[in-house]
Structure 1
Amino acid sequence: MSEANAIEAMPGVVRIGNVVIDQARRRVERDGATIELSQRPFDLLCLFLAEPRTLHTRKDLFRRIWKGVVVEDANLSQGVWVLRRALGEQGKDWIRTVAKSGYVFDPPLPIESIGDTPAAGAATSSGETDLLPSTAHASAAAWRGRPFALAMMAAFALFAVAWGAWRFLRPSEPLRVLVIAAPSNESAPPSAPQWPVQLLREWLEWKLSREPDVLVVSALQLADADERGRIVLLSVSESPGDAQRVRLHAHIGNTDEPGGITIDALPDDITQAADRITGAIVDRLLPAGAVQPFPPLVLDAAGAQDYIVATQRREAGRPAEAVAALEAVLKRRPEFGLARLQLAEMLDELGQIGAAKQQMAFAEQWISRLPPAALRIQKAREAMLARDYPAAADAYAALVRDYPYQPRFRLDRARASRLAQRYADATRALDGIDWNLQPLRLRLEALLARAEVQCESGALDAAKKTAEEARKLADDAGWSLERARALLIFANASINDASAEKWLPFERAAAQFEQAGDRMNMLRARLAGEMMRPPERGTGADTLLMALLGEARAAGNREIEVDALRLVARRFRRAADFVRSRDYLVEATAVAHASGDEQRDAALRRDLALVSMVLGDFPAASRHLAEFDATKPQGTLRLLAGQIKVRLENYRGRYDKAAEAADAVTADPVEASTISAAMIDCDRTQTLIATGDLAAAQLAAERCMRSNLPYDLAAGNLAIAKIAVASGDNAEAARRIAAALPALQQLPDVDRWDLGAIAQGLRVRIGDRDGVEAALSEILSQVAPGHVRLTEIEARLGLAELASAGGDLAAAQTQIAALREIVPGDDWYAQSRLALIDAASAFHRGDVTRAQASLRTLDEAARAHADIAMELRAHRLAVSWGNNLCPEARDRELVAKSGIRGASESWLLGDRFDASQPREHLVFDRRRTDPPEGR
């Protein structure tokens, strides 16, 4: 006989080491102490005893233990955890987890039969067990015959399993409370319809939510709960023997005190009675002396009904209607602080930040009367409302530290940290709890929060994976809005993909928002998708924008209004119209500033700095960056602004400041791992090449490409090509230019044109000039004059250099004249290249004196800027016609220090270069520029 069959044949009592299991009486004893288990964990134990050393898959366990009941995975995990606690330190390892499969009950000791028990009256492992405490029976008897009694008794039967106690819990476990509002007695007077019991529930749940040692939970979360779980049944009915009065009754399950709490009140006194009974419930639930009084519930009957309407509209996701109802409540009772707090939260959700802050100020006196724990939670919420996300993140971090079992504090901390761009802190908050043991909604919220953190911090592949997991969970639950949020995160994380149809994920998210009845987010997602379409196919953006702006303005949602304007500004940047992009950003900044939204205002300052730089307005770019820095930003937004600052200082030739900016924003090793840090390394290469540190430039370029994003791959390869040119390795430069081309083709137009102009300019320098003029002319034809100034300058510099190298003096002069009109006076990068072209052009015309004077001026300026690369280029061009600008010893020192021993700048002179001229003095001669031995 197999062991499984032997166990089935055994009498009902077995022993495994120090543990005795009485299957008939459904009781476990360990070392003589009785341990009670609720139904499902004991059923699980009986199955393990019947079939030991067998792999039980999770699917099979659900089928056999929870037959016909829809439950979460967490129920099984929690049931196993309960069993391990019951079996004690010695027996907890008897249940072995098989990764991604299930469980094996595999005790190292024999399973011994030690006797039988009478079967009469005993419950079987699959039978029902009466776990209702005696107080429940007494209360049920008192309600017998009333219309709502069956509903209340059914509720007790449904959740009876929640009162099974296991007695070995951590002292820090919170009290879990499920509040159930029974339907009002249909015979109740007209003055007491549904609203009194709803008021009871709302006021009680709010009070409990401000007690950090209490978790207000759902039915699923309470399933298989321990002795710290409570069910509170609330009812309102006609008072027996007095038709003019209303009876408010609360029954608290699993307490040692007999009976419930009952208050009879006249209809006009219902709200005061609700305040008294909720206070009594909280006193009953929490230890003596632990509860401090809340401010009173100051509402009359009419105001209470308005308040319930407001809460129903809020729960239904109709914030504008909820605001109107709360305003009606406050018109009657302006001193009701809770309505002001909730009105402030709703106004904040609608983006009416100023009005929300005003309501919070009106409620200040009421807030000051809250108990200390509730006041602490409120202060964290106020910091969120004030958009002081760092302070909110710190406040929630302290709450998480003191109450680590509160999942809501962790979610709030993650959200505040993400908005403060503290992505590492947000991740730590989410990592600190096993979300699989939480109810489905909290588990889904945690997945969405994690996906948002990953997306915004640049971990795009991880964000897509997490968002997809959240979508599947939302699909299983049938929750449309959460599914839409997951789809939108996935779409945002996919914007750098190589797909030519990047708008499709946004369209899927929009369709889901529409199905969920969220028109505002539907329009936002659809507009974002429209921004991803090629300009010739994006014909509906203007219509969508106007619809979204109309909705946002009608709702007073300034945040969505700003986001929509910023989105359109981004579209014009993609369409190479930075002038119109700037106009929309200025409008969005005015809205953000007027609404007091400092976070969005900071992001817009960063965008304005970028647009101003590309338009060649370097002073405006610096001003916007200074305004941005004044907000003390953190995280990715700070890195993105740092990238602009590095690039701007490189253009100006202020390489020391460029290096400082790069170091400042990448000092945090966690934040420096993001995509933005890789992009900063791409720009850092320009600083290092100019200052003559080619080895460090090579490392920075390689770090740049680690993100594997198309822009970084293209920019990194072109940076290495520049290094190769400076080192005199034209073959490597050609290979790197070719390696950059596939990534270039994946970029949006503006980025492709900008990096493409750089690539074509490098081709001119290494003598690979076929097709360069056509490529650069095509870029110029796509860039409207003045709308993408820096790209226009780069393309014209390449055409001027190409004309000079080909000896086309007229074409070179045309480009030189155009460049003198558009190159900013403080653009050292363009001005220095223009000076080289101008000197070569003067030599072409036979004006050697003018050419030499231009190079002397350039030489002095290069020294002032500490631009070693440009100084050596000036020297080498002068040497091409036999002139030394400085002592040969300085050239040797610069070359030895930098390793910049690239080919002669004579390519700018084309066939005018006299190859027969004596060359022994040229500093790029390898025999005379090798560094000392061992360097």
Structure 2
Amino acid sequence: MTTPWPADACYLQQDDLIVDLRYRRLIGPDQSVEVPQRVFDLFLLFLSEPHKLHSRSGLFERLWSGTIVEDTNLSQNVWLLRKALGESRKNWIRTVAKSGYVFEPPGPLRWFQQLPPAAGVAAAAGEAASVVAERADAPQILLESADVQAVPAVIAREPTAPDRIVLHESVQSDSTPSASARSLKRRYRWGAGAAGLALLCVVAALLLGRPWQGAAGRAERSMAVVAMRDPSAATPWAATLLEQWLSWKLDSLPEVNLLTESDLAAGGGPASVDVVFLSSERMPDEAGRIAVYARVLQDGKERRFEVEGDRSEVPALVDSLSRQVMARLVPEHKQPWPVLQLSAQAAERYARMAEARRQRDWMAVAKNGAEVVEMAPRFGLARLQLAEAQAELYNSAAANEQMQAAVRLLAPVPADVAAQLQAQRLAIDPFSERNALEAYSALVERYPRKTAYQLEHIGLLLSAGRPKDAQVRLAAMPNVREPVSVRIAKDQLRADAYRMMGELDRSRAVATAAEKITRDLGPGWTLERADTLLTLAIADTYQHPERGASPWYSKAAELYDQAGNSTRALHSRFLAQMTALPQPGSDAGMDELLARARAGGYRRLELIALMASATRASGRGDVVTHRARLQQAYAVAEAAGDVHSMRQISVILLSGLIQSGRFAEADASIARLRDADLQTGAVYLYGQHVARLASLRGRYREALSALDDAEKLQSDAAGPADTGMRASLSCIRADVLLSLGRLPEARQSLARCAKANYRFAGATATLGESRLEWLSGDRTRAVALLDEAQKAPVMGAIGKWTHLIGIAEIATRLGDGDRAERIYAQLRPQLQPTGYAVLIAAARVGQAESAATRGDWAQSRVHAAEAHQLIPGDAWSLRSRLDLLEAWDARERGDLAGAAVAAAKLHQQARRFGDVATELQVHRLLPAGAIQNDCDAAQREALVARTGMRGAGAGWLDP
């Protein structure tokens, strides 16, 4: 690197900051800070080339040339450099999104051979601190501190644990060469031998000036455990084991909120954070011996811990070291804790499991975890984490078994930790959903500031299908100085809750905002960004299935691959394959992905595959396969204890029961689902089905009540009702209101339905508007809208059949019998194999009406008889049309008395149900007064005037 300062310069000055080139120090007016080599090199590069865009790739090439490092290293170095510069100077480094960094100092750079006088005081203070630090550098038993008694070298271990473990003594003399050599060697381990640790340990000096809050009496504590992941290190597994063991202990405590390494790099968050840095290395001149280090920054003070021993002794060393760190961080919880029981070989394999868990690659966790548990059957933490992975993969029986063993092996623990373990055990068991929610609710109530409890409780509410309750909990969570990871997790949960409630636009908005945050944060947040993109893709699919697979699926899969999460990458690709528009060979690709999922124990994808197959079968009109796949999916969900999916599938199956005319079974299913406390988008579908069944029976007010109940799912703060799945509710509501003669309200509902950016609501709304215009007497407008409705796209065979039957019905009433006949002729062979008695009967009723308009009453009676055999006795909406035809047929045959009797019965039932449309058609049949308990002429006119239904008469049946 070519620099603007001469080779003999010893000091640089930028504004009020002095850069000591010899000792890598930054000297400000108040303090002197030593900076690690890599951070210092980065600063020198910025100083030598200010006001220039430094790309990330360029910085990697110049600072880490020929070295394999994680992409997050650069972000961490920039963060550390900003911390070293201080609050008033950190804005000298400007981040350019997606590009890199620009160094923008406030003035020119100067250089000197001697320390400028203005910096003398701060430099002297810094040198004094360095002397003190060097004198205190000799490692003690496990803790470097003059004001703390040496901790006895007692290590709890299994009877088979090694008897010889060397711990550094608390006091060492520098008068002997051997002592001096040992001290130098250990300083090397903390420096060059643990270079990655030194990179982050600069936080010690950087955070000393922060407004630390004393540990005594502190209600909650924010902590972070960071293990250095140096690819060149020979023994990273030892530090990983310590990281996992220590993190589990700390995270189990109700007063501790554990932050991630990415949280530290992102900045913000709590004002007070205790940080533990961990590393391990093979001793450079002692083959087979390993040292493990911990450096604790707590309450503005730094403490060092260090142990060493043979490779076989590492698990016992780690256990001892974790106890000493716990005694320093949370002395009130220094015991009781279980003994760490595994071999060094198992610990090495466990490091792979831990890395997979860090990437949330549950298939890899399950695979490696099974091997670790076999090698170390008494290692409780591995069983706990294996159970977590198996539950994510829907292997509930295996997860329960591992979790029960974990609770038994992870003992003894403090009482509060035991309560959390029991809550985790219940959460793993899908059949203990209610007990798990109660357990976490109790934990949240007792420890409201424990973020992990809050998030777990909200996740359980979503798993139980209660997104509205989850939203309430999210709103109640404090958001002051929360870490970025918590904010993103809350946004993800909020987006999932909106999606489950059918509020897809809102889900997309929250996920989009979260995606931007994770994108701006950089590579350390790849997994979180992939999660937000997957949420966006799912929202797109739900809202517009006609568009095929969302491009966000592929992008999410790429990011998951980058982050090392094969489980979610497979999941994303599977969803993309599943939602793609059908093409030759597409099912073969899905089978290949499913085979991979089964090989990885991912049973969740098996359920998704069956649901996808059912959807595809429904789309092509294969009702038999559709029903069979749903029943298989229900069995899989039941075996997995997935109550939420069982309810979802039951709601979908409810439609088939209604369409098949099995009203009694539908009533029983509705009763079961009514007690299920549905809060997801399924409640919209459930509300639609209940309303349709009630409307079929003429129970219009009951139908409106069901629609009202469905719409209550949306929170009070939600937007207008013309978004998401509520569009379908508005269309159904319009149909019910038209039957009741409430045209203005029906028009408003149709307008909401038509505006919704959701699936094919537009086609349904247009058909409803055509019916409305016919009822109001504007036949020209009705015909134009009917033409438009017939051209509009509709997805899925069942949706198309229903839509076409509605078009044919209106066409008959508008005098276009030919169009109706063509439609019915097209539908008859498609409907016959389905077993959907109600749809088939609706087509037969329509054919009977069409034949009657042609004066072919004999054919009309044939179709009517077929329809009568298909539909249940209480299917009012169909039977009333048949009864009207029967009365009109009698009148055409000159049987006025028979016509009057049939009309009187129909008129009475129509008034009882409030079916104004049917009542007005009866009025057209016979003169006022000809029917028993008939309306008089004035009442008839008043009814037309009140409703505006001037076209509702049965004039379409006149020859």
Task: With the length of structure 2 as denominator, give the TM-score of the two structures.
Answer: 0.73
Of 613-622 and 489-498, the range deviating more from structure 2 = 489-498
Q: CA deviation at 1:678?
A: 2.9
Q: Is 1:804–2:852 an aligned residue pair?
A: yes
Which residue of 1 is the match for residue 913 of structure 2?
Answer: 865
Check 1:364–1:507 CA distance in 2 against 1; reply closer, same or farther (3 A cut).
closer
1:78–1:883 Cα change, 3 Å: farther
Alpha-carbon distance in 1 for matches of 2:661, 2:80: 62
CA shift, 1:415, in A, is 3.9
Deviation track 1:364-417 (CA, whole Å, cap 9, x = no partner) reads 445674335544554554454234778767877887899898776676466445
Q: Equivalent residues in 2 for 1:749-828 (5 A)?
A: 749-769=797-817, 771-828=819-876
User: Are 1:652 and 2:690 counterparts?
Assistant: no
1:670 maps to 2:715: yes
Distance 1:707 1:445 in 2: 29
C-alpha distance in structure 2 between counterparts of 1:82 and 1:203, whole Å: 31
The aligned residue for residue 273 of structure 1 is 317
SS in 2 for 1:659: helix
Structure 1 segment 484-563 matched on structure 2, within 5 A: 488-495=534-541, 502-503=548-549, 505=551, 508=554, 512=558, 528-529=575-576, 532=579, 537=583, 540-541=586-587, 543-544=588-589, 546-547=591-592, 550-563=595-608
Deviating more after overlay: 683-692 vs 566-575: 683-692
In the TM superposition, what is the alpha-carbon distance from 1:297 to its structure 2 partner?
A: 1.9
1:397-412 aligned at under 5 Å gives the runs: 412=456
1:9-28 aligned at under 5 Å gives the runs none
| Cα distance in 2 for residues equivalent to 1:786 and 1:591 | 25
Q: 1:73 to 1:336 in 2, by over 3 A?
A: closer
Structure 1 match to 2:249: 207
Q: Within the alignment, does 1:689 sit opposite 2:738 as a pair?
A: yes
- 1:13-67 Cα offsets, whole Å, 9 max, x none, are 99xxxxx9999996778xxxx6889989x99xx99xx9xxxxx999799999999
The aligned counterpart of 1:235 is 280
- Taking the aligned partners of 1:57 and 1:883, their CA distance within structure 2 comes to 94
- Distance in 2 (CA, whole Å) between partners of 1:777 and 1:488 is 44
> Is structure 2 residue 162 aligned with structure 1 residue 162?
no
**Aligned twin of 2:305:** 261
Secondary structure of the residue aligned to 1:608 is helix
How far apart, CA to CA, are the structure 2 residues paired with 1:523 and 1:99?
29
Q: Is the 8 A contact 1:642 1:661 kept in 2?
A: yes
Whole-angstrom distance in 2 between the partners of 1:831 and 1:768: 23
Q: Which moved more, 1:466-475 or 1:805-814?
A: 466-475
Post-superposition shift, 1:348?
0.7
Aligned to 1:807, the other structure's residue is in SS state coil
663, 666, 672: which is aligned to 1:627?
672
Q: 1:321, CA displacement in angstroms?
A: 6.1
Contact 2:679 2:713 survives alignment (8 Å): no
Letter in 1 for 2:608: D
Distance 1:82 1:215, change over 3 A: farther
Provide the residue aligned with 1:144 in structure 2: 184
Question: What's the counterpart of residue 684 of structure 2?
Answer: 639
Once the two structures are superposed, what CA deviation does each residue of 1:682-704 show, in whole Å capped at 9, x if it has no partner? 22223333334334333333333
Report the Cα offset of residue 609 of structure 1.
0.8
Check 1:698–1:399 CA distance in 2 against 1; reply closer, same or farther (3 A cut).
farther
Partner of 2:390 in structure 1? 347
Contact 1:176 1:215 (8 Å CA) reproduced: yes
Given residue 854 of structure 1, which amino acid in structure 2 is its aligned partner?
Answer: A
SS of 1:261 mapped into structure 2: strand
Q: Which has the higher contact order (CA 8 A, sep 6+)?
A: 2
Q: Which runs of structure 2 are paired with 1:455-494 in the superposition (5 Å)?
A: 455-461=499-505, 463=507, 477=523, 488-494=534-540
- Gaps in structure 1 of 5+ consecutive residues: 1-10, 15-19, 51-55, 108-115, 187-192, 912-935
Structure 2 unaligned blocks of 5 or more: 1-11, 64-70, 107-115, 140-179, 215-219
Aligned to 2:4: none
- Shift in CA distance, 290/486, structure 1 to aligned 2, threshold 3 Å: closer
CA contact (8 A) 1:35 1:86 kept: no
Which residue identity lines up with residue 608 of structure 1 in the other structure? L
Paired letter, 2:729 = I
Conserved? CA contact 1:152–1:182, under 8 Å:
no
Is the deviation greater in 606-615 or in 217-226? Answer: 217-226
Structure 1 position 284 matched with structure 2 position 328: yes
Cα pair 1:353 1:597 within 8 Å, conserved: no
The structure 2 residue matched to 1:587, chosen from 627, 632, 647, is 632
1:574 pairs with 2:619: yes
- Residue range with higher mean Cα deviation, 755-764 or 881-890: 881-890
Given that 1:178 and 1:216 are in contact with CA atoms closer than 8 Å, whether structure 2 keeps it comes out as no
Range 850-859 or range 474-483, more displaced: 474-483
Relative to structure 1, the CA distance from residue 864 to residue 532 in structure 2 (aligned partners, 3 Å threshold; closer, same or farther) is same
By how many angstroms is 1:855 displaced? 2.3
Structure 1 residues 234-255: Cα deviation after superposition (integer angstroms, max 9, x where no partner): 43656999x9986554343578
Q: Report the residue type matching 2:398 in the other structure.
A: A
- Cα distance between partner residues in 1 of 2:813 and 2:622: 30
Render the CA deviation track for 1:754-781: whole Å, top value 9, x for unaligned.
Answer: 1232133223223355633223433444
Q: Deviations over 1:330-369 (max 9, x none)?
A: 5576554323322221221221112322333344445674
Aligned equivalents of 1:880 and 1:74: distance in 2?
88
DSSP 3-state at the match of 1:675: coil
| Conserved? CA contact 2:335–2:414, under 8 Å | yes
Match of residue 903 from structure 1: 951
Q: What is the aligned partner in structure 2 of residue 608 from structure 1?
A: 653
Q: Give the drift of 1:560.
A: 2.2
1:201 alignment partner AA = E
| 1:159 aligned counterpart, secondary structure | helix
**What's the CA shift for 1:467?**
5.8
**CA distance in 2: counterparts of 1:643 and 1:383, whole angstroms:** 34
Q: Deviations over 1:585-622 (max 9, x none)?
A: 11221222222221111111111112222333222222
Q: CA deviation at 1:317?
A: 6.4
Relative to structure 1, the CA distance from residue 751 to residue 506 in structure 2 (aligned partners, 3 Å threshold; closer, same or farther) is farther
Q: One-letter code of the match for 2:701?
A: D
SS class of match (2:927) = helix
Q: 8 Å contact 1:184–1:237 — kept in the other structure?
A: no
Deviates further, 543-552 or 858-867: 543-552
**Is the alpha carbon distance of 1:816 and 1:143 closer, same or farther for their aligned partners in structure 2, counting shifts above 3 Å?**
farther
Q: Which residue of 1 aligns with 2:760?
A: 711
CA contact (8 A) 2:738 2:746 kept: yes
The 10-residue stretch of structure 1 (725-734 or 798-807) with the greater mean CA deviation from structure 2: 725-734
Matched, 1:596 2:641: yes
Mapped partners of 2:17, 2:682: distance in 1: 60
Report deviation, 1:201: 2.9
Paired AA for residue 685 in structure 1: A
User: Structure 1 852/354 Cα, relative in aligned 2: closer, same or farther at 3 Å?
Assistant: farther
CA distance in 2: counterparts of 1:93 and 1:251, whole angstroms? 29
Q: Rate the CA distance shift 1:668–1:298 in 2: closer, same or farther, 3 A.
A: same
Q: Matched residue of 2:228: which SS?
A: strand
Amino acid at match of 1:252: V
Q: Give the structure 1 partner of residue 401 of structure 2.
A: 358
The verdict on how the C-alpha distance between 1:474 and 1:174 changes in structure 2, with shifts beyond 3 A counting, is same
Residue-pair matches, total? 855
How big is the alpha-carbon RMSD for the aligned residues of Structure 1 and Structure 2? 5.5
SS at match of 1:783: helix
Q: 2:561–2:569: 8 Å Cα contact kept in structure 1?
A: no
